[in-house]
A and B are shown apart, each in its own frame.
Chain A
Amino acid sequence: MTTLDVSLEQAKAQYLADLGKLPSNGAPNWLNQIHATGAARFRQTPLPNSRMEEWRQTNIGPIVNTPYRSLVAPTAHGLGRKDIERSFYGAGAWTELVFVDGYYAPDLSLTPELPTGVFAGALADGIEGTGLSVVETHLNRYLAERNAFTSLNSAFIQDGALVRIGRNAVVEHPIHVLFVTSKRPPDAAAHIRNLIVLETGSQARVLTSYVSLTDDSNYLNNVVEEVVLGPNSQLHYYKLVEEGAAGNHLGTTEIVQDRDSRLHSFVMSMTGKIVRNQVCVKLDGDGASAQLVGLYLNDGERLIDNPLSITHVKPNCYSRIMYKGILDGNSHAVYAGKVYVHQEAQKTDSNQLTQNLMLSDNATIHAKPQLEIYADDVKCTHGATIGSPPAPIVFYFQSRGIDEAKARAMLTYGFAEEVVSEIDISELSERLGEYVYQKYSP
């Protein structure tokens, strides 16, 4: 065995050892089964490495070579809302669910009354009996076996966000789920599992965000979420990744859409050492639409990976991808978007574009938009751009009195603003616009 394989094996052994520490009492049978299947798959699946096609451009060596200690029970966090107030957007009106190191913290959360049929809270509570069968019905039904970490996540399912929007319910304010990394022990991993279910005709906006109170600690957030859109439902989904400077995030979001459902997804990677936001959408009902918008801000020595897939299973569906990257320092980013159109999916309308703004000669981007089409009556486009602002645009600014440095900063802001302005929550789009503006001001 090579040294790489040795440390991989050590990391894996550590995960398995911690699995054994999960409290075994009380879990319902169906959950025990999910745990057992996840654990078995994890045992069989090698950890991601550069010999695997999907990971060739995404070197997560620093993650797989760290024998992270998995958290298996909540600890007293000692935090107040003050400590995390800058991570809220709702000014008191929104539902705000706070999780600390992967476990629900009701004392930090705000839970204003929601319409009948709407539940927003902890998955753990959903498992233990809110009288809802939603968890048993949906949990782990949609997750394809993406990699060893998603299997590991299933093996560890304890807590995370549970959002269920009942039939025809419309939730006025966004539901914000905030995941805080606090003073976890060094080299700790949290396996977070979210479930978002929109029943027929319902509408909601859900924001999940990941923040850290420490920039020094090497940690891993291993996140899996399943999102279900029932017939004619509409979800605005937002994800913000603001992990600590030494923190890592591996996320997989698995979305299944029934007929005429509408998804607007916005994923923004702001900080964190290694950040991977996988989003997989299955358009499984006639007339469904999915829009995936993304913004990744990369710099320093960081790595950001955006693997996307949209599968058109049924006819008359629409999909759109617009992912933008701003790439600075010695950072490395990957965009891999794949749109599959099944034979049955006639009249598919799909477009995919990734645009990447290079701020440094030493930053790299591997952009790979792909199309795989088995139907004959479809309209599909895909494209990628990589570069810096064209000289005529910079000259235009100068001709108006704005020097080159300021012009480039404004253009960087404008580049991001074009997607940030698609956010339909004004509190959020303003704050993120301001964030980008500050970050790139000269």
Chain B
Amino acid sequence: MLEITNLRASVEGNEILHGIDLTINEGEVHAIMGPNGSGKSTLAQVLAGHEAYEVDEESRVTFLGEDLLDMPAEERARLGLFLAFQYPVEIPGISNAYFLQAAMNEIRVGRGLEELDAMDFKKLLNEKMDLINVPRTFADRAVNHGFSGGEKKRNEILQLAVLEPRLAILDETDSGLDIDALKIVADGVNKLRSPHRGFIIVTHYQRLLNYIVPDYVHVLYQGKLVKSGRKELALELEEKGYDWLRQEQEALAATG
């Protein structure tokens, strides 16, 4: 469903992603790991359509058969792409319910469906809040405003549950969570796994992957995918640390 070919992206003339190739099929869960500053969030933001990043003309990304890079962010979302942000913004004055109803209806209209009225939406929102185990008080609270770090991450998962994307990118949804919160978040994600939905789980630590078991693991290092494998790769990384990668890459550079 997602095909990334030679993705190069830069900020203010500095190239951060140096040619990424990655294919994700329906129903697959891919983990992307890597040390801080390796470009994980950049990849997530570029896919979501952030305009601060310039993408190289040679780069190609197709999503559900459409050229993603030509689309503004809101159209990508309507097509079925979702990003759970590493740092979700706070929006005072706008309730979660109001925000999500607006988002959902934009997406529904984009897909040629009828808008949901406030009553039907409320019902759906209640179901989703129960499903992923967030208190119903989330509905009337302003989006992320005054939320704790853990609540913000759970709110991202609530949005994911409501908007039902085809591909969800979770950018360090585990960071800053204690083990209980981590389990709740992972549990929510597992409930949302489906044969038609793909996931990219971006994480710095292997910990989350004990709970959300990926089909594939990739290592992003200095803007390149330097290793790919099955879930065991995550354990190997955990054991050997990112230093192991650095040494391996330096050795490669010396011989290459």
User: Could you tell me which A residues sit within 8 Å of B by CB distance?
Assistant: 390-393, 395-404, 406, 410-411, 413-418, 421
Assess A400 versus B77: contact at CB under 8 Å? Given A395-B50, A406-B106, A410-B102: yes
Q: A403 is contacted by which of B51, B72, B100, B163 (Cβ under 8 Å)?
A: B72
- Kindly state the separation between the CA atoms of A417 and B88 in the bound complex, as whole angstroms: 21
Q: Are A414 and B93 in contact (CB under 8 A)?
A: yes
Of B73, B78, B102, which is within 8 A of A395 by CB? B73
Number of A-B residue pairs at CB separation under 8 A: 77
Instruction: Report the interface size class on chain B.
Output: 20 to 34
Residues of A contacting B142 with CB < 8 Å?
A: 414, 418
| Cβ 8 A contact of B94, one of A398, A399, A404, A410 | A410
A401 in contact with B106 (CB, 8 Å) = yes
Is the Cβ of A415 less than 8 Å from the Cβ of B93? Answer: yes
Which residue from chain A places its CB closest to the CB of B105 in the assembled complex?
A401
Partner of A398, one of B73, B85, B99, B100: B73
Q: Chain A interface secondary structure, helix, strand, loop or mixed?
A: helix
Tell which of B72, B82, B92, B159 has the most Cβ of chain A within 10 Å. B92
The reply to whether B88 and A402 contact each other, CB–CB distance below 8 Å, is: no
**Can you name 8 A-B residue pairings with CB atoms under 8 Å?**
A392-B89, A393-B91, A396-B88, A399-B76, A399-B85, A400-B100, A404-B74, A406-B106
Contact of B83 with A by CB under 8 A? yes
Beta-carbon contact of A399 and B83 below 8 Å? yes
Q: How far is the CA of A108 from the CA of B228 in the complex (A)?
A: 79
Interface flag for B103 (CB, 8 Å): yes
Question: Whole-angstrom distance between the alpha carbons of A399 and B79 in the complex?
Answer: 11
Let me know if A413 and B89 touch, CB within 8 A: no
Q: Check if B49 is an interface residue, CB within 8 A of chain A.
A: yes
Contacts of A413 in B (CB 8 A): 93-94
Contact in complex: B91, A396 (CB < 8 Å): yes
- Chain B residues near A398 (CB-CB < 8 A): 49, 72-74, 77
Q: Could you give, for residues 31-62 of chain B, a 1 whenever the CB lies within 8 Å of some chain A CB and a 0 otherwise?
A: 00000000000000000111110000000000
- Chain B proximity of A266: nearest CB distance (Å): 15
Q: In the bound complex, what is the Cα–Cα distance between A228 and B246 (angstroms)?
A: 73
Say which residue of A391, A401, A410, A416 sits within 8 Å of B77 (CB atoms). A401
Known: A393-B89, A398-B49, A418-B142. 9 other contacts (CB 8 A): A392-B89, A393-B91, A396-B89, A397-B103, A399-B74, A399-B77, A400-B100, A414-B92, A414-B94
Is B27 on the interface with A (CB-CB < 8 A)?
Answer: no
Contact between B103 and A400, CB atoms less than 8 A apart: yes
A411 to chain B, nearest CB (A): 7
Q: Which of B82, B83, B92, B103 contacts A402 (CB 8 A)?
A: B103
Task: State A392–B143 Cα separation when bound (angstroms).
Answer: 14
Expressed in whole angstroms, the Cα–Cα distance for A411 and B82 within the complex equals: 21
Contact A399 B106 (CB under 8 A): no
Contact at B102–A399, with CB atoms within 8 Å? no
Distance between Cα atoms of A120 and B241 in the complex (Å)? 76
- Complex Cα spacing A397 to B89, Å: 10
CA distance A418 to B52 in the complex (A): 30
Q: A397, A410, A411, A417: which has the most chain B beta carbons within 10 Å? A: A397
Across-interface contacts of A421 in B (CB, < 8 A): 93
Asked if B107 is at the interface of the complex by the 8 Å CB criterion, the answer is: yes
Residue B110 lies at the interface, judged by CB distance under 8 Å to chain A: yes
Give the Cβ gap from B105 to chain A, nearest Cβ, in Å. 9
Q: Which residues of A have CB within 8 Å of B107?
A: 401
Q: How far is the CA of A396 from the CA of B85 in the complex (A)?
A: 9
Contact B88 A401, beta carbon cutoff 8 Å: no
A418 with B93, Cβ < 8 A, contacts A400-B103, A401-B103 known: yes
CA separation between A112 and B168, bound complex, in Å?
59
Decide: A401 and B94 in contact? CB cutoff 8 A. Answer: no
Min distance, Cβ B7 to any Cβ of chain A, angstroms = 18
List, in ascending order, chain B residues with CB within 8 A of A417's CB. Answer: 93-94
Residues of B within 8 A of A406 (CB): 102, 106
Contacts of B102 in A (CB 8 A): 402, 406, 410
Complex CA gap A374/B165 in Å reads 59
The 6 closest A-B pairs by CB, nearest first: A414-B93, A418-B93, A414-B94, A398-B73, A401-B77, A400-B103
Question: What is the CB-to-nearest-CB distance from B15 to chain A, in angstroms, rounded to a whole number?
Answer: 21
Interchain CB contact (< 8 A) of A414 among B72, B76, B82, B91? B91
Alpha-carbon separation in the docked complex, A390 to B107 (Å): 23
Output the least CB separation between B27 and chain A (Å). 23
Closest Cβ of chain B to A324, distance in Å, is 10
The answer for the CA separation of A393 and B100 in the assembled complex, in Å, is 15
User: Closest CB of chain B to A19's CB: distance in Å?
Assistant: 47
Which residue of chain B lies nearest to A421 when distances are taken between CB atoms in the complex?
A: B93
Residues of A within 8 A of B104 (CB): 401
CB closest residue in chain A, given B85: A396
